[in-house]
Amino acid sequence: MAHTFIQIANAVLHVAHTPTAQQVTVTFDAAQIVTWLIIGTIAGFLAGALIRGRRYGFVSSIIVGLQRSRLACDVTLLPLADGGDGTLAIMIRALGGEQIPIQVTGPDGIPIIAQLGLLADGQTAIVETAQASGVERIASAVRDPLHATSYGTGELISAALSRGYPRIIVGLGGSATNDGGAGAMQILVQRLWSGK
């Protein structure tokens, strides 16, 4: 499997470093494609686990290994997230800014502290649904998506609006509820009707 991965990687590197080629055709057999999919799935799983666990050291070790190899490549550490847990931290890390604590209603109706991201551009706020309405905010024994609420996510959005941020990015992953955002909309409709 590792040998096939190296063949695929070498083919990709060859294509990327062939400036004079008009067209390059790279073919793989079914076994190579399946292997690539398995490796991609494992890499995606590891990346997700690393981000959730904030274990950037492992990824950094891979980068150091690539830099010490004989490959002529530039390597940039760019963690990714899917809009759920860790999205806010990764965006702040990549784009600059700060996280500020806001008291909001948790998914089970109990007040919690969630983080609101304010990017360095002074125009963009980041709301991570998992911060306010996330499944990790409720003990596994009492999780009930039918009774959980996204109201706290609406409170984070409202806090960004109150601070004058014209652009708000909302990461929707990791939610404890399936209310379709109805809880979040409650507070936003209240703002609309009150004229704030």
- The domain locations on the chain are 2-68, 87-194
Q: What is the pLDDT of residues 89-147, one digit of tens each?
A: 989 988 999 999 999 999 999 999 999 999 999 999 999 999 999 999 998 888 988 89
The 3-state DSSP class for residue 171 equals strand
Pair 39, 5: CB distance under 8 Å:
yes
Instruction: Decide: 83 and 173 in contact? Cβ < 8 Å.
Output: yes
The per-residue pLDDT for range 36-56, each reduced to its tens digit, is 566 555 555 555 555 454 555
- As a dihedral over the C-alpha atoms of residue 41, residue 46, residue 48, residue 53, rounded to 10 degrees, the angle is 170
Can you tell me which residue has the tokens 């062939």?
A: 18
* Sheet (strand 167-171) strand order: 97-105, 111-119, 124-128, 167-171
Tokens of 134: 């996330």
What class, spelled out in words, does domain 87-194 have in CATH?
alpha beta
